[in-house]
Structure 1
Amino acid sequence: MNHVTTIETSALAAAELYLLDTERQPCEVWTRVMGYHRPVASFNVGKQGEHAERQFFKEQ
């Protein structure tokens, strides 16, 4: 069970967190291609461009 008081909860909610660009790290994006999961960063330039142009849809 979590024993965080209301004061601590409001203090955490009020805290503003900011990261500088130098403090960030890149997020590795993976995708499934031909049954294998591969990082998009390992794709050649053309395949990375195709991946960026993908459009997601929700089937009804």
Structure 2
Amino acid sequence: MTKDEILTKNQSKRTRCIVYTRVMGYHRPVESFNVGKKGEHKERVKFIKIRA
């Protein structure tokens, strides 16, 4: 099954989620950012912590 087929099949089960990020010491929803700040958020590099 392709990604598009899975999405259309499960469309009724999907819900919108709110993504928060930490800004200046507190958490804010990304959807409240202006256009420039949203672009900056998309360009960020996300690091994955590897357990040793």
* Larger displacement relative to structure 2 (50-59 or 24-33): 50-59
What stretches of structure 1 move > 6 A for 4+ residues in a row? none
Provide the TM-score with structure 2 as the length reference: 0.65
Unaligned runs of 5+ in 2: 1-8
Task: Give the corresponding residue for 1:19.
Answer: 10
Unaligned runs of 5+ in 1: 1-17
1:55 is the counterpart of 2:45: yes
> Sequence identity, in percent?
61
Provide the TM-score with structure 1 as the length reference: 0.57
Using CA pairs under 8 Å that are at least 6 residues apart, name the structure with larger relative contact order, 1 or 2.
2
Q: How many residues align?
A: 41
